[in-house]
């Protein structure tokens, strides 16, 4: 049987005037201009101004960026963000891949249920997770300290996770939240690995590790790259989790201060919107650079 | 013969035309609709208890002033903060009257005085004799560069609440306690290890280094401060060094007398009910909160003035604060001002706030009202109101700085670092902690100066 593809008559294509696409684009352009382009432009101009509370500002050129380079708090926030990013990516990606490999095993019973169990933390919001883990990490009565003190009686139940080990606490909370989501990405990629390739390699005597190393890994590489990039971007945007976990603060000795949190504190707690805009633009530049780098690496490997 | 469709109509499909017409019509309706008329003077508040207590007074005002009614609006704390500060920063609509907490109000003082979003009430307060009617130290929190921008809602003196049942069962007489050293010495026998695991299971005081409002309150009690009278940071004062070292000796080491019993969580409440902590330092509003949330403590606790840092020293401190401010943008300042006075000077409000929230009024004339002198069964028959009122004139004055929150965070960082130092160096005596305390406070001072130095209106 011959398939007949519907063909739009030439006359009807010609009936649309040249401005028709613009008509359809107009709502988007209006919203984009109002809520994205204008704030971006405004924040760029603000980053060259010093602001002092309501209605007072002056032009300082690159002054905010110069101040930023010598600002120990900015570097502390950068250091914390980088440590969190590296630790998160280093833990989350292998763990998510491991879970995905386990769930992808043929003949596994209860796969859908397990997938739901691992994925469900990412269905709740960051604020909820922050509040939940604030209880988990509480001194004396918190779940973690109670458990550790029961298992290891020498462990001090008054150990302050949110005082002494803030970044560890943040990484653990983020791990619980995001590992399931990343697992789903990997699972989707694993399910697209051609089964015949794996089968052929098995017949040729390849071990499980060799099959993973030479077939599975190259096949899922683009998804792995995407997961890494998304994790890095997400880590650089970290704000709600530490903000809630540390009770609207950056923790003792700014141990939980992240770049976005510093931006927020500067702009909205001390009213220095110009400096906050400068921080925002630096974060943007870092993320754009990372994205370009990632693209380049992925292209090279292809 | 069917009618000929004009060419321009063919430019879009019928569906697209329907969408375009609907979009145009809805936009037109929105543009042409007049904004909903104001019902009166909007008054933003963030506390449900305040809403309940203000209701009758607002109704009575609205009955007497039908042309200038008040529209009481309860707004979540953080939403009010955002709307208020955004309004002041960007000129978006704000209410005529606001109730706002100290950290929010002080942040609006960051710019030049003539740009502060609240009306400067200094001259009115002076010319109408209101300065004398309110508890004097209470104005300090709403003052920037000598100008007052709010009417005080409260005093919030702090007292010590202790487990009278446990203390009396141990035969301890609290009247012996005048200073913090006495407190530690007299109550020390109550610190016990019940399960024999080598760890203390009962502590003398609820308190910890990362509880910023708590440590600031203790600092103020001892005569310390984070800002001087000219609103400049002064972390490295000798008195601050002494107090910070002393506090650290309470928080760190095998013999520490404090533990963390959070004020607003179920776990903290359970620790209080279980007697894990003997005493807590509570302002009047927290006493009201305990009565609502901790009925299990009724009849088991008593209040007393705080032990002083030194003999003859201050026996109270201050914790929290709310003010009523009037927006510069109000179209009728006189009506807003008249309402503000009616509300805050009302004896009925003084009674209702104490009854509902345990809050003592800052209006001195109302302090003799019977409600404040009634024995309270919750506090073992003590007259809670009278005990707080007795300390109200002695509350320390505070400085309203837009950098207050930052300063408290820095104080917390100093305390945490000093605690860590104490643990690493196995040094827990206050005297041995002072050199490190001084070094850390000097570092915090330098950071604060650097940050405030960016603000040319407040730069030291």
Distance, in Å, from the CA atom of A112 to the CA atom of A122, rounded to the nearest integer, reads 16
Of B110, B199, B416, the CB nearest to A271: B110
Q: Which sign does the torsion angle of CA B26, B28, B29, B30 carry?
A: positive
Of B115, B405, B451, the CB nearest to A53: B115
Residue keyed to tokens 């000077």:
B345
Distance, in Å, from the CA atom of B354 to the CA atom of B53, rounded to the nearest integer, reads 10
Domain presence at residue A22: no
Distance, in Å, from the CA atom of B149 to the CA atom of A28, rounded to the nearest integer, reads 44
Across residues A111-124, what is the average pLDDT?
A: 86
CB contact under 8 A, A270 and B413: no
Domain presence at residue B230: yes
Domain presence at residue A80: yes
CB contact under 8 A, B413 and A55: no
Domain presence at residue A227: yes
* Tally of domains within chain B: 3
A contacts of B456 (beta carbons < 8 Å): 50, 52, 58
Residue keyed to tokens 């990412």:
A122
Are B341 and B435 members of one domain? no
Are B117 and B182 members of one domain? no
Of A15, A52, A67, the CB nearest to B10: A15
A contacts of B260 (beta carbons < 8 Å): 139-140, 158, 160
A contacts of B415 (beta carbons < 8 Å): 252
Using a 10 angstrom Cβ sphere, with 0-12 exposed, 13-18 middle and 19 or more buried, the burial of residue B272 is buried
Domain presence at residue A101: yes
Q: What is the pLDDT of residue A1?
A: 46
* Tally of domains within chain A: 1
Domain presence at residue B110: yes
Of A55, A160, A268, the CB nearest to B111: A55
Residue ending a domain, choose from B295, B315, B335: B315
B contacts of A169 (beta carbons < 8 Å): none
**Of A10, A239, A245, A263, which is closest to residue A138 (Cα–Cα)?**
A245
Residue ending a domain, choose from B286, B315, B344: B315
The ipTM estimated for the assembled molecules is 0.70
Domain presence at residue A114: yes
A contacts of B199 (beta carbons < 8 Å): 156-157
CB contact under 8 A, B455 and A72: no
Identity of the highest mean pLDDT range in B81-95, B143-157, B415-429: B143-157
Of A15, A251, A271, the CB nearest to B107: A271
DSSP B323: E
Are B61 and B87 members of one domain? yes
Are B302 and B173 members of one domain? yes
Interface test with B, best of A34, A64, A252, A273 (most B CBs within 10 A): A252
* Cβ-contact B345, B176 below 8 angstroms: no
pLDDT at A3 over 90: no
Bridge partners, B161 (sequence order): B280, B303
> Which CATH number fits the domain that encloses residue B266?
3.40.190.10
Using a 10 angstrom Cβ sphere, with 0-12 exposed, 13-18 middle and 19 or more buried, the burial of residue A106 is exposed
Instruction: Collapse the DSSP code of A273 into the 3-class scheme (helix H, G, I; strand E, B; otherwise coil) and give the result.
Output: helix
Q: How many Å lie between the alpha carbon of A70 and the closest alpha carbon of chain B? A: 11
Q: What is the pLDDT of residue B61?
A: 95
| Residue range B38-58, pLDDT digits in tens | 778 999 999 999 999 999 999
Domain presence at residue B24: no
* Cβ-contact B145, B230 below 8 angstroms: no
Residue ending a domain, choose from B345, B375, B394: B394
Distance, in Å, from the CA atom of B344 to the CA atom of B352, rounded to the nearest integer, reads 12
Q: Do you know the residue count of chain A?
A: 302
Instruction: Collapse the DSSP code of B108 into the 3-class scheme (helix H, G, I; strand E, B; otherwise coil) and give the result.
Output: coil
* Nearest residue in B to A254, CA atom: B413
Position A302 confidence tier, pLDDT thresholds 50, 70, 90: low
Distance, in Å, from the CA atom of A236 to the CA atom of A241, rounded to the nearest integer, reads 12
* Nearest residue in A to B446, CA atom: A72
Distance, in Å, from the CA atom of B346 to the CA atom of B365, rounded to the nearest integer, reads 10
> Which CATH number fits the domain that encloses residue A285?
1.10.3720.10
CB contact under 8 A, A56 and B116: no
Which residues form the domain of B345? Answer: 41-155+320-394
Distances (CA, A) of B213 to A158, B209, B281: 21, 10, 11
Q: What is the DSSP string of A42-81?
A: HHHHHTTEEE-STT-EEE-TTHHHHHHHT-HHHHHHHHHH
Bridge partners, B163 (sequence order): B301
Of B260, B405, B456, the CB nearest to A269: B405
Q: What is the pLDDT of residue A5?
A: 58
Q: Which has more pLDDT, B292 or A57?
A: B292
Are B129 and B47 members of one domain? yes
Mean pLDDT estimate for chain B: 92
Least confident of A7-16, A52-61, A140-149: A7-16
Identity of the highest mean pLDDT range in A18-22, A154-158, A181-185: A181-185
* Cβ-contact B369, B347 below 8 angstroms: yes
Are B274 and B420 members of one domain? no
DSSP B381: T
Position B459 confidence tier, pLDDT thresholds 50, 70, 90: low
Domain presence at residue A208: yes
Are B378 and B357 members of one domain? yes
Using a 10 angstrom Cβ sphere, with 0-12 exposed, 13-18 middle and 19 or more buried, the burial of residue B327 is buried
Which residues form the domain of A99? Answer: 63-301
Position A12 confidence tier, pLDDT thresholds 50, 70, 90: low
Distance, in Å, from the CA atom of B173 to the CA atom of B185, rounded to the nearest integer, reads 12
Domain presence at residue B2: no
Domain presence at residue A42: no
Q: Which two tokens stand for residue A101?
A: 């490999």
Query: b/e string for A159-179 if b means 16 or more Cβ within 10 A?
Result: bbbbbeebbebbbbbbbebbb
| Residue range A98-107, pLDDT digits in tens | 999 999 887 8
CB contact under 8 A, A138 and B262: yes
CB contact under 8 A, B267 and A56: no
Domain presence at residue A198: yes
**Of A287, A263, A294, A296, which is closest to residue A71 (Cα–Cα)?**
A263
A contacts of B417 (beta carbons < 8 Å): 252-253
B contacts of A249 (beta carbons < 8 Å): 212, 409, 412
Are B294 and B267 members of one domain? yes
Across residues B254-262, what is the average pLDDT?
A: 89
CB contact under 8 A, B455 and A253: no
Are B172 and B233 members of one domain? no
Are B200 and B290 members of one domain? yes
CB contact under 8 A, A73 and B89: no
Distance, in Å, from the CA atom of A3 to the CA atom of B158, rounded to the nearest integer, reads 86
| Residue range A23-56, pLDDT digits in tens | 889 989 999 999 999 999 999 999 999 887 766 7
Strands, E, within B91-206: which ranges? 97-101, 143-144, 147-148, 151-152, 158-163, 203-206
Distance, in Å, from the CA atom of B222 to the CA atom of B310, rounded to the nearest integer, reads 8
A contacts of B270 (beta carbons < 8 Å): 141
Q: What is the pLDDT of residue B247?
A: 96
Domain presence at residue B143: yes
CB contact under 8 A, B409 and A163: no
A contacts of B108 (beta carbons < 8 Å): 53-54
Provide the H-helix boundaries in B264-403.
266-273, 284-293, 333-344, 347-357, 384-391
Are B54 and B104 members of one domain? yes
CB contact under 8 A, A53 and B108: yes
Distance, in Å, from the CA atom of B103 to the CA atom of B4, rounded to the nearest integer, reads 70
Are B194 and B274 members of one domain? yes
**Of B191, B246, B261, B254, which is closest to residue B423 (Cα–Cα)?**
B254
């Amino acid at each position: 049987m011959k398939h007949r593809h519907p063909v739009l008559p030439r006359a009807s294509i010609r009936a649309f005037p040249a401005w028709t696409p613009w008509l359809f684009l107009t709502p988007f352009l209006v919203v984009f201009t109002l809520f994205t382009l204008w704030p971006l432009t405004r924040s760029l101009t603000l980053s060259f101004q010093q602001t002092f509370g309501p209605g007072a500002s002056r032009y300082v050129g690159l002054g905010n960026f110069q101040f930023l380079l010598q600002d120990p708090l900015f570097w502390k926030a950068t250091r914390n963000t980088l440590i969190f990013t590296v630790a998160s990516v280093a833990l989350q990606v292998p763990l998510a891949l491991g879970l995905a490999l386990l769930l992808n095993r043929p003949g596994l019973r209860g796969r859908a249920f397990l997938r739901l169990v691992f994925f469900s933390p990412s269905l709740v919001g960051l604020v909820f997770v922050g509040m939940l883990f604030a209880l988990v990490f509480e001194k004396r009565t918190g779940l973690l300290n109670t458990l550790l003190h029961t298992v290891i009686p020498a462990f001090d139940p008054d150990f302050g996770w949110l005082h002494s080990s803030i970044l560890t606490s943040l990484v653990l909370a983020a791990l619980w939240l995001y590992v399931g989501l990343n697992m789903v990405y990997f699972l989707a990629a694993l399910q697209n690995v051609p089964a015949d390739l794996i089968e052929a390699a098995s017949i040729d005597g390849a071990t499980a590790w060799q099959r993973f190393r030479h077939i599975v890994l190259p096949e899922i590489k683009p998804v792995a790259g995407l997961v890494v990039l998304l994790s890095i971007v997400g880590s650089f945007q970290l704000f709600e989790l530490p903000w809630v976990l540390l009770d609207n603060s950056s923790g003792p000795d700014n141990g939980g201060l992240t770049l976005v949190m510093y931006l927020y504190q500067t702009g909205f707690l001390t009213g220095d919107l110009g400096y906050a805009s400068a921080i925002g633009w630096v974060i943007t530049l870092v993320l754009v650079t990372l994205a370009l780098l990632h693209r380049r690496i992925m292209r090279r490997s292809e | 013969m069917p009618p000929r469709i004009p060419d321009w109509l063919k430019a879009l499909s019928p569906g697209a035309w329907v969408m375009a017409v609907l979009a145009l019509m809805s936009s037109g309706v929105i543009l042409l609709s007049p904004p909903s008329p104001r019902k009166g003077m909007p008054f933003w508040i963030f506390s449900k208890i305040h809403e309940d207590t203000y209701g009758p007074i607002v109704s009575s005002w609205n009955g007497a002033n039908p042309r200038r009614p008040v529209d009481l609006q309860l707004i979540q704390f953080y939403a009010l903060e955002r709307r208020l500060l955004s309004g002041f920063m960007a000129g978006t609509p704000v209410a005529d009257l606001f109730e706002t907490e100290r950290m929010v109000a002080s942040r609006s003082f960051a710019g030049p005085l003539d740009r502060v979003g609240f009306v400067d009430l200094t001259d009115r307060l002076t010319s109408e004799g209101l300065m004398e009617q309110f508890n004097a130290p209470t104005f300090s929190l709403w003052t920037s560069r000598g100008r007052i921008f709010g009417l005080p809602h409260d005093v919030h003196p702090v007292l010590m609440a202790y487990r009278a049942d446990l203390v009396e069962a141990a035969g301890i007489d609290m009247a012996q306690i005048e200073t913090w050293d006495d407190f530690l010495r007299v109550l020390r026998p109550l610190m016990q290890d019940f399960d024999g695991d080598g760890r203390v299971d009962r502590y003398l005081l609820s308190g910890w280094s990362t509880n910023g409002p708590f440590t600031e309150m203790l600092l103020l009690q001892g005569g310390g401060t984070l800002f001087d009278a000219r609103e400049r940071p002064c972390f490295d004062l000798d008195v601050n060094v002494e107090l910070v070292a002393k506090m650290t000796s309470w928080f760190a080491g095998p013999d520490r007398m404090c533990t963390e019993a959070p004020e607003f969580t179920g776990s903290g409440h359970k620790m209080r009910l279980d007697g894990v902590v003997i005493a807590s330092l509570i302002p009047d509003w927290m006493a009201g909160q305990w009565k609502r949330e901790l009925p299990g403590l009724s009849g088991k606790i008593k209040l007393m003035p705080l032990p002083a840092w030194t003999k003859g020293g201050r026996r109270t401190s201050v914790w929290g604060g709310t003010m009523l401010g009037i927006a510069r943008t109000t179209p009728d300042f006189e009506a807003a001002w008249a309402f503000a006075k009616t509300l805050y000077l009302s004896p009925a409000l003084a009674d209702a706030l104490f009854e509902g929230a345990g809050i003592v009024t800052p209006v001195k004339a109302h302090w003799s009202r019977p409600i404040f002198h009634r024995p309270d069964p919750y506090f073992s028959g003590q007259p809670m109101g009278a005990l707080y009122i007795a300390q109200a004139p002695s509350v320390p004055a505070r400085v309203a700085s837009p950098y207050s929150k930052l300063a408290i965070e820095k104080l917390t960082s100093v305390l945490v670092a000093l605690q860590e130092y104490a643990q690493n160096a196995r040094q827990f005596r206050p005297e041995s902690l002072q050199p490190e305390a001084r070094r850390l406070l000097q570092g915090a001072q330098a950071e604060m100066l650097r940050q405030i130095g960016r603000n040319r209106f407040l730069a030291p």
